[in-house]
């Protein structure tokens, strides 16, 4: 059973992970409190999406502990993990909609699989969520007929159809124009306020992160640089944070010989 009063819905301690011989995440430790929006920030390839995959049990760490809703997920079998995942929703970067189903069928799928509700009730519930995502006129379209922003919103509608306690959202702004991106940010805040969800967002967009976050964790090259509220991040003296906030490349001073050696190495 899951304790409904648990405050830290996610607790990670000393997480290490490798892809082959390359270390992706090193000694990550953080917690996420109930009903907060935690943003995990970092450059492309910093390991933030891998961290999200560990939080939802899609990747197994080399070492460390991950507690989701108070349960250590690294030792759970598939059935136990599935029981736990009924309390979460995940919106993937590309939507990850099933290409053989319409938008509405995609959104209804979790309800068909996990509830005994009749067809009409399921239809009403899915329309409510599609309305919330401003997709009500597109319910009969196939995923291939949707734009990038619509795919993300459709993925979000499917992720929240079961009213999960925790919502994970991978790169909500990636590849979107500023207006659509701002709409998605508003949507995330609405979800937190209206549905009382804990929301974990992975993004590399500064504006988006500072708009929606209660707290931010910055990951760089697999290492956790800082975790704190927006003011803590803004006041940090760490050069990597300063560079990120000022949108500067990390290596301004490149040695010409070193660079040439790097390009011409075997």
Partner 1 sequence: MSTNRPQALSSFESVLIRFGIAGIFLFETTLTIVLPPYSLKPLIKQIAFIGARSLLVIVVAGLFVGMVIALQFYDTLVRFGSVSLLGSAVGLSLIRELGPVLTALMVIGRSGSAMCAEIGIMRVDNQIDALECMAIDPYRYLFAPRILAGIICVPILTAIFILVGIFGGYFVGVVLFGVSPGSYFQGMSDTVLNRDLFMGFSKSLVFGLLIVWIACDKGFNLHLDKHGAYGSEGVSRITTEAVVLSSIAVLFSDYLLSALIL
Give the Cα separation of 219 and 163 in Å (integer).
29
Single out the residue of 6, 13, 26, 148 in contact with partner 1 (rule: CB under 8 A).
Answer: 26
- Kindly tell me which of 62 and 260 has the beta carbon lying closer to partner 1: 62
Contact 216, 227 (CB under 8 A): yes
Single out the residue of 82, 119, 248, 262 in contact with partner 1 (rule: CB under 8 A).
Answer: 82
Identify any residues that bridge with 220 across adjacent strands, giving them in sequence order: 223
Single out the residue of 4, 20, 118, 253 in contact with partner 1 (rule: CB under 8 A).
Answer: 20
Backbone angles phi, psi at 125, to 5 degrees: -65, -40
Structure tokens at 129: 């969520």
Is residue 86 a contact residue for partner 1 (CB under 8 A)?
A: yes
Please list every residue from 45 through 74 that binds partner 1, using CB under 8 A: 53, 56-58, 62-63
Single out the residue of 29, 65, 94, 236 in contact with partner 1 (rule: CB under 8 A).
Answer: 94
Is residue 147 a contact residue for partner 1 (CB under 8 A)?
A: no
Quick one: which segment of 83-91, 131-139, 238-246, 248-256 binds partner 1 (CB under 8 A)? 83-91
Backbone angles phi, psi at 161, to 5 degrees: -60, -30
Quick one: which segment of 37-45, 155-163, 236-244, 247-255 binds partner 1 (CB under 8 A)? 155-163
x/- contact string, 156-175, with partner 1 (CB under 8 A)?
--xx--------x-------
Contact 176, 184 (CB under 8 A): yes
Is residue 97 a contact residue for partner 1 (CB under 8 A)?
A: yes
Give the Cα separation of 236 and 109 in Å (integer).
44
User: Which strands make up the sheet holding 215-220, listed edge to edge?
Assistant: 71-72, 63-68, 8-19, 22-33, 223-229, 215-220, 37-41, 198-203, 166-170, 88-91
Contact 97, 155 (CB under 8 A): yes
Count of residues binding partner 1 (CB under 8 A)? Answer: 36
Report the Cα 15 to chain-centroid distance in Å: 17
Is residue 247 a contact residue for partner 1 (CB under 8 A)?
A: no
Least distance (Å) between residue 28 CB and partner 1: 10
Single out the residue of 23, 74, 134, 243 in contact with partner 1 (rule: CB under 8 A).
Answer: 23
Give the Cα separation of 106 and 150 in Å (integer).
13
Is residue 29 a contact residue for partner 1 (CB under 8 A)?
A: no
Contact 17, 59 (CB under 8 A): yes
Single out the residue of 21, 44, 116, 251 in contact with partner 1 (rule: CB under 8 A).
Answer: 21
Please list every residue from 116 through 145 that binds partner 1, using CB under 8 A: none
Give the Cα separation of 126 and 104 in Å (integer).
7
Which residues make up the interface to partner 1 (CB under 8 A)? 16, 18, 20-21, 23, 26-27, 53, 56-58, 62-63, 78, 82-83, 85-86, 88-90, 92-94, 96-99, 109-110, 113-114, 155, 158-159, 168
């Amino acid at each position: 059973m899951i304790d409904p009063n648990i405050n830290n819905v996610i607790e990670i301690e000393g997480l290490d992970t490798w892809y082959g011989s390359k270390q992706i995440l090193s000694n990550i430790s953080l917690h996420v409190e109930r009903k907060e929006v935690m943003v995990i920030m970092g450059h492309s390839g910093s390991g933030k999406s891998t961290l999200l995959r560990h939080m939802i049990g899609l990747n197994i760490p080399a070492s460390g502990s991950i507690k989701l809703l108070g349960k250590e997920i690294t030792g759970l079998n598939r059935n136990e993990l599935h029981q736990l995942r009924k309390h979460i929703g995940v919106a993937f970067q590309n939507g990850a909609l099933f290409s053989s189903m319409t938008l509405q069928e995609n959104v209804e799928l979790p309800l068909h699989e996990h509830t005994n509700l009749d067809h009409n009730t399921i239809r009403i519930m899915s329309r409510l969520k599609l309305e919330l995502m401003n997709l009500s006129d597109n319910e009969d379209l196939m995923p291939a007929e949707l734009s990038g922003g619509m795919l993300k919103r459709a993925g979000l509608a499917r992720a929240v159809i079961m009213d999960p306690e925790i919502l994970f959202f991978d790169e909500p702004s990636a590849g979107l124009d500023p207006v659509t991106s701002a709409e998605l940010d508003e949507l995330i805040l609405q979800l937190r306020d209206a549905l009382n969800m804990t929301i974990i967002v992975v993004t590399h967009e500064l504006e988006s992160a500072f708009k929606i976050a209660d707290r931010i964790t910055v990951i760089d090259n697999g290492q956790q640089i800082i975790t704190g509220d927006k003011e803590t991040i803004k006041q940090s003296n760490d050069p990597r944070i300063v560079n990120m906030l000022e949108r500067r490349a990390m290596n301004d001073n490149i040695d010409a010989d070193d660079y040439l050696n790097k390009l011409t190495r075997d």
